[in-house]
Amino acid sequence: MLILGIDTSCDDTSASLLSIENGRPSVITNVISSQSEIHTKYGGIVPELASRRHIEMIVPVVAEALGSTRPEDLSAAAVCYGPGLIGSLLVGVSFAKSFCWAKKIPLVAVNHLEGHALAPFLEASPGFPYLCLVVSGGHTSIYKINDFADYEELGRTRDDAAGEAYDKVAKLLGLEYPGGPKMDRLANEGNPKSIRFPRAYLPETFDFSFSGLKTAVVNHLVGLGDSAKPVGQEIARDVAASFQAAVTDVLVRKCEWAIRQTGIRRLAIGGGVAANAGLKEKMTAMAKKHEIELFVPSPRYCTDNAAMIAFAGAKRFKNKQTAGPDLNAQAYLPL
């Protein structure tokens, strides 16, 4: 099976060519055109600029992903149709519909969160069921993955997503967008115990909350004096390290609780924040302590990529779940 995957859900235009032989996926290409440079000067994603850039990039990115492969030789094309920024999603969906119609190949619709939840399969073979923590810029949820296309959400954030909190705190520290990866590096140089930021454990639930932590960082910085001035490097390092310690403590503790409550001894993490080195380290230690299997995709498969969409699409295509020309983009789309 040869599948083309397309993801334009946020600010990266991505296309991937994936082959599946005897059930094992092999990523042939995974092209990602980042828009960071465009959005950096605004301190965050400007949706209108994002969709315009997708329009410019979708054809060259798909062409690069296909390489010398002829579109007619594809088994199907899988496109992410939500959740995400509506203008961005529409570019991918409209392109995929026209492409499939013109080349007479089947179209498959994939939920972006399904892509993140199945990304571990690109490099490993987790057995079912497994728990999956999806931590991205728009979502923070724990799912029970019973089988392909059989998912249960156990809990989710009640306010900010973890990645959103990372990006907002990064901005407060004067770091350029996207702040998450820069916070990760800075946190590595600071003292995680220097400031005791609050941890919202929300006991007896699988839910999360990160807005109080964000406010605590704001209050801490205001307490330091002139909030209009950027903080010094030393302060920024310790704030980043202490913030990261609070976020990762909560994420790890929740997963630990989910393992205890469900008795499931396989855990995967996915989404942009799963690329965080501090989170991986703490999750690995926890998995070792409980002797459970842990699946953490390589950073390129944690952050948005079309290979994960191609894989999820291949599974749906195998089950004959194809989409028609009435497929529409959906900004809000639960898994």
Which position among 8, 197, 304, 308 is part of the footprint of Zn ion (CB under 5 A)? 304
Which position among 81, 166, 295, 311 is part of the footprint of ligand KG4 (CB under 6 A)? 166
| Min CB(116)–Zn ion separation in Å | 6
Distance CA 312, CA 80 (A): 10
Give the torsion through C-alpha atoms of 224, 228, 234, 236, to 10 deg: 100
122-130, 143-151, 253-261, 269-277 -> range binding ligand KG4 (CB under 6 A): 269-277
Residues 117-136 that bind Zn ion (CB under 5 A): 136
CA-wise closest residue to 54 among 92, 2, 100 = 92
273 contributes a contact to ligand KG4 by CB under 6 A: yes
120 binds, among ligand KG4, Zn ion, none (CB under 5 to 8 A by kind): none
Distance CA 245, CA 254 (A): 14
189-197, 213-221, 258-266, 298-306 -> range binding Zn ion (CB under 5 A): 298-306
181 binds, among ligand KG4, Zn ion, none (CB under 5 to 8 A by kind): ligand KG4
Distance CA 89, CA 237 (A): 36
10 contributes a contact to ligand KG4 by CB under 6 A: yes
Residues 291-320 that bind ligand KG4 (CB under 6 A): 303-304
Residues ≥6 apart with Cβ < 8 Å to 99: 62, 71, 77, 105
Number of H helices, E strands in the chain: 11, 10
Which position among 275, 307, 308, 309 is part of the footprint of ligand KG4 (CB under 6 A)? 275
Contact 43, 171 (CB under 8 A): yes
Structure tokens that stand for 322 in this block: 């194809």
Residues that bind ligand KG4 (rule: CB under 6 A) add up to a total of 20
| Min CB(272)–ligand KG4 separation in Å | 2
Site string for ligand KG4, 64-103 (x = CB under 6 A): ----------------------------------------
| Min CB(1)–ligand KG4 separation in Å | 25
The 3-state DSSP composition of the chain as helix, strand, coil percent (nearest 5) reads: 45, 20, 35
DSSP alpha helices (H): ranges in 19-161? 36-40, 47-66, 86-103, 112-118
Distance CA 123, CA 297 (A): 7
276 binds, among ligand KG4, Zn ion, none (CB under 5 to 8 A by kind): ligand KG4
167 contributes a contact to ligand KG4 by CB under 6 A: yes
Which amino acid is present at 294? L
181 contributes a contact to ligand KG4 by CB under 6 A: yes
Cβ neighbours of 171 (radius 10 Å)? 14
Contacting residues toward Zn ion, per CB under 5 A: 136, 304
Contacting residues toward ligand KG4, per CB under 6 A: 10, 136-138, 163, 166-167, 178-181, 183-184, 271-273, 275-276, 303-304
